Structure 1
């Protein structure tokens, strides 16, 4: 293998993560021995290098090979500590992976940290909105003997249960929490429990209200101010739900009179004033209702709602001018509000009442022009099929197997669809299924990558072992350089005592040795050389990754252009006279281009993934020149054996030098044996650790197969339900837009009719006035007319 081959350069980059304990053996200058002074100097240098090698291999032995491997207990504690660090840093994905590895080990169930691991895992999943997974591990934690985590776990479990509408076993958990607290729940947990009762949908309304009141009432005496305010608000809402508006008004009045400090308390007051205004409106206290609405500040989330309700309050009072002013402010403050369509209709109605007919006509026509095309598009969307399953499949096929409302619906309709709980639930279900399917695929790909890394990269997958192995490699390279010096010295010493034939044989071996020495000299022997090589390799990988990122940006831009072109074709279909066959051909070509872009994107992602692997490999190891070192050492041994064959007829001084060199070589061989032993032990550790990981990954692969089957089964069961929900919900959204346009049309008719009525009344008034004036004229000129007669 050529030393300039990229594979050799890449393998040599692997040494970067393994800093030597001290500088590796320096390459001594190989000069021919001309005098005993030079030989003595070189042997002194060799002696120092051997001492250095002894220290380095001792470091490898004490820190890597002779040090006992962490016990199973120590490994679990380290994994727990790493997971806890990731949890505290907010890296929920990494934390959940680490803690899942712990809790999935049956041997860890008896560990004292098992409850804490369950809590961290469930909370990490909860932060990722994986409510089903969080519920699973929270239930496991709550089934264990109570610990300090019990109350926090129960609070989170109540939150998850209310989101998933799964209420079984809650009362037993609450009873257990009361026992732990001496019969009384802590205020924070008691409030969560009361709010959970407030939201329960599995109870009859009367029972739900009674149980929620029973839970909230004691919290009115809590020593936590925010809990008292929140409980008071919920009690007022419960009175409204029970139909006791008088009690609700009194509760909200009392709550609104309390001072507020923190933003959470301010928000409660805003909701209280909004609720109080609505109740006062319903009971006919219009002036006080206006006062309550006007206490909601402009920066509040409820400000737009309050403006809309203020306008209706003025309508009920008959003050159309002020009602119109409130609507004008609403449309100015938030023209994209979901209330905007109804506000525009109300604006047209008020303009009609104020006899501003031109403005009213413009307003109604604006509603028709804005929402008529949306209604037509929804008609087209829903009229394609009456089969909800086919409809659902159509939605998915149009959007890469995910239900994205922003693509399926016009922007105006999107705001309405997002307010539909059924659509939100259907979208969440589809997204969860898609997320599960995608997660299984990613996990399977990750498992394949891990097994491939263990098979192909070996020590690179374990940086600690790689560091020890690289240090041992450095020592072996140094010992080979010592052998190079010894061979050079003894070869030069015997050269003048050889026959012509023997000298030719020795020269041939020396030429081969010198040729390999040039390749061997490329091996890094100091930390500086290792770092420089690592930086060169990483710079090359980074340059390729930057180019891949640029190409990814270009692909993303091209995909956006393709999407925009498709949308333009759909939006302008009614305005163009393009023959259908031409449009079909164009869209087919556009789809082919989009498919090509998808393929390129997938290939680019795969390339960037490989680049990331290569960069990680560069960061963990720079080496792989064992073959070069071994070949060089074999040539040195051949030259040494050839020189040793001449030892029987050498002069005494040369024989003494050879004896001394042999003593040095024995020290070198002893160190080399220690290096070989250390590297063998590191390879054995690699095999053991790799086997453990391989077994775990293969076990997870078997589980992934089960998960894939389960996801496919659940997807098949859910498709009909989700399709029907989406179909019915979108149909309701379409009905809302139909009603908007209908009201706009009715408004236009009302304007025309009212104007006609006004003209009719005016004509009737003028006619009556004319008749009156004629009668007066007849009366005034009656005598004159008599005379004429």
Structure 2
């Protein structure tokens, strides 16, 4: 929508609001009685009194009221940020608190530590661990406050995620001093868990320090802390090789009643761990009892079924083991355990001499994972330097290709279970998120600057309201001036020469021409509403078109997804060279990137339309230009009439003096209006300048961030290429082993069947020999007699 048109329409509404209470005026006929003049002047006097009241409201509420000090503005921003934090709007809260903590004047404020805590926790909730760590460290470096323990707990959590351990012990020492030498149970548990996860210590030292921290917590008055600490002590005993101690700890945990939530999860983990340790120590029957305690809705249920099967295998109960595997494959056929479970199923069927079923099971493994192994072989053997190939492939795309474009879907499930590949996928996601954040922030900064330049008062609703009210008063004063000029012209008309009348008539026609435009402004609420609806209908029409385009983009993305799925589903049937397929997938991803760009452009357009829709109610505010031109013509006509004052009759001269008194009062009000609007414009300029300075400073930072993200993305792209290659190699080995075991299984089935047949033949042969010998014995005498 045209911004100048918006402003013009906005001015129309203001004039309409100011004139809605004024009666429609037409050029009066020459005055015939002083009573009529008195009546109109009385009406003008009431209107000026009303204008004075409205103007006084503008002055007291907008122009003469002191603006909030910088301190009050910061406290208001802190209050707004705290509200957003409590509402769970982490993004809005982090923006508000970032603005506060980056203000040097706020560093000495008593609420500065609270702002740091709210900012860091908001970033932590958004999984921005690096940003959260930065502000938590700054908070922990300040003199301790009530937030210290909570901040340290979060810092330990972030440090364990980022594997950054420096300086922790100093913070713990400080926290102990604040707590009288003893950490609160919740913080002590977080610290112990942090020690448990440390990778920079020798294993013996790590286990000893973690045990020392967890042991006192098993006597805590907080139940969940006791349970969590006891479980970790059991795990530490396993890591130290003390299985008997671990069994006792897990047995005690598994015997305790568990409520919902975390307690139930710990109970299930302890039960499963107890079953595994009992199995390892040869107590198979007891292990089976523990495995059977795992409920079906548990996340560990599939693991328990697999281990139940092996426990039965150890007992030689192959049918029971097969039943457990059958349930596993029925419950979760996509589990990472499913390939090994299918192989075990084949072995069990072989043991049960169900050869056809065993062969089918092995063939199912081969047919599922054989083509994937072949595809991975092609990817890894296509060049002499596969690592360089992946680096080049990834660097050809503006956006880092993620592993879903390189690994077949079946293999991807197993690649993501590897820690380094999961980290690489998370790295890609973080880089994309960072890049998107920089792009969105740059777009937001541009929209703010554009709004300040084009919308002006609309960006500050409080100033806009004051200016709109002042504008309405000025429109009313212009209408008063119109009445006075009409009265003056009517009063002098009978005393002018023919030439003077022609001069007055020429000016009057110019006034009437502009008055027609002035009269077109809405004068009732209904007319205002109709105009607003027309403008909103235009915006809605454009928004509907934008929605239609969004639907088309969604359809194109669905087509791209379908094409990608077709490529994956038909890979085993097609004979497309691997290089061509990878180039096609790279091109497809570039097309998807283009669709994302178009989607972002469309979203920006719809956001602008939303701004237009929101400003429609205030955009119908009047036209400053129309009012100004009309007022200038009125002044021109007044000056012409005033030039005739020297030779007018005394009664007419007195009447003109009365008109001038009213005009002086009107001019006084007009001067106050101009002063009020000037103050509001100064406030607008001052506030706009502050915001512009902040936005431009952020834009400079965004340029640095963009360069850093681009640099990191380039380095990470090559790193992810190497990780992708290593992942391919390991996953390929996994699938090679699966297929090999399947092939061996089929050979075992054939060999076992051959042995069974050979055994049957040997058995029949021995039976035949025995029967022949029996016949020989039975007919030995007969044969002798025959001889």
Q: TM-score, normalised by structure 1?
A: 0.93
Are 1:367 and 1:744, in contact at CA under 8 Å, matched by a contact in 2?
yes
Report what 2:302 is aligned to.
304
Report what 2:318 is aligned to.
320
- Matches of 1:724 and 1:171 in 2, distance apart? 36
Are 1:552 and 1:604, in contact at CA under 8 Å, matched by a contact in 2?
yes
Report what 2:288 is aligned to.
290
Q: 1:530 to 1:228 in 2, by over 3 A?
A: farther
The residue matched to 1:459 in structure 2 has which SS?
helix
User: Considering only aligned residues, what root-mean-square deviation do their CA atoms show, in Å?
Assistant: 2.9
The residue matched to 2:105 in structure 1 has which SS?
helix
Report what 2:387 is aligned to.
388
Report what 1:480 is aligned to.
478
Task: Pick which of 581-590 and 741-750 moved more.
Answer: 581-590
Report what 2:506 is aligned to.
508
Report what 2:626 is aligned to.
628
Report what 2:6 is aligned to.
10
The residue matched to 1:553 in structure 2 has which SS?
helix
Report what 1:707 is aligned to.
705
Report what 2:210 is aligned to.
212
- Matches of 1:637 and 1:715 in 2, distance apart? 67
Report what 1:26 is aligned to.
22
Are 2:185 and 2:222, in contact at CA under 8 Å, matched by a contact in 1?
yes
Task: Pick which of 456-465 and 139-148 moved more.
Answer: 456-465
Return the match for 1:772 from 748, 770, 773: 770
Task: Pick which of 544-553 and 133-142 moved more.
Answer: 544-553
Alignment of 1:74-153 (within 5 A): 74-153=72-151
Report what 1:730 is aligned to.
728
Q: Is 1:41 aligned with 2:39?
A: yes
Report what 2:237 is aligned to.
239
Instruction: Give CA deviations for 1:230-270 in whole Å, capped at 9, x if unaligned.
Output: 11111111111110000000111111111222322111111
Q: 1:530 to 1:232 in 2, by over 3 A?
A: farther
Alignment of 1:173-322 (within 5 A): 173-322=171-320
Return the match for 1:546 from 532, 540, 544: 544
Instruction: Give CA deviations for 1:403-434 in whole Å, capped at 9, x if unaligned.
Output: 43444333322221221110111122232233
- Matches of 2:764 and 2:296 in 1, distance apart? 49
Are 2:9 and 2:620, in contact at CA under 8 Å, matched by a contact in 1?
yes
Q: 1:707 to 1:576 in 2, by over 3 A?
A: closer
Alignment of 1:416-565 (within 5 A): 416-523=414-521, 533-565=531-563
Are 1:15 and 1:622, in contact at CA under 8 Å, matched by a contact in 2?
yes
Instruction: Give CA deviations for 1:732-787 in whole Å, capped at 9, x if unaligned.
Output: 12221222222222211111111111111111111111111111112212222223
Q: TM-score, normalised by structure 2?
A: 0.93
Q: 1:729 to 1:383 in 2, by over 3 A?
A: same
Report what 1:750 is aligned to.
748
Q: 1:536 to 1:196 in 2, by over 3 A?
A: farther
Are 2:12 and 2:522, in contact at CA under 8 Å, matched by a contact in 1?
no
Residue 589 of structure 1 and its aligned partner are, at CA, apart by 10
Aligned residues: 784
Structure 1: where are the runs of 5+ without partners?
none
Task: Pick which of 734-743 and 654-663 moved more.
Answer: 654-663
Instruction: Give CA deviations for 1:73-106 in whole Å, capped at 9, x if unaligned.
Output: 1011011111111111111111111111111111
- Matches of 1:223 and 1:584 in 2, distance apart? 59
Report what 1:353 is aligned to.
351
- Matches of 1:707 and 1:587 in 2, distance apart? 30
Return the match for 1:413 from 411, 414, 417: 411
Q: 1:576 to 1:420 in 2, by over 3 A?
A: closer
Are 1:28 and 1:481, in contact at CA under 8 Å, matched by a contact in 2?
no
- Matches of 1:683 and 1:316 in 2, distance apart? 87
- Matches of 1:441 and 1:484 in 2, distance apart? 54
Q: 1:573 to 1:239 in 2, by over 3 A?
A: closer
The residue matched to 1:146 in structure 2 has which SS?
coil
Residue 546 of structure 1 and its aligned partner are, at CA, apart by 2.9
Instruction: Give CA deviations for 1:48-89 in whole Å, capped at 9, x if unaligned.
Output: 211111111111111111111111110110111111111111
Are 2:247 and 2:277, in contact at CA under 8 Å, matched by a contact in 1?
yes
Residue 626 of structure 1 and its aligned partner are, at CA, apart by 0.8
Instruction: Give CA deviations for 1:415-460 in whole Å, capped at 9, x if unaligned.
Output: 2122111011112223223322332233233223322332333222
Q: 1:16 to 1:543 in 2, by over 3 A?
A: farther
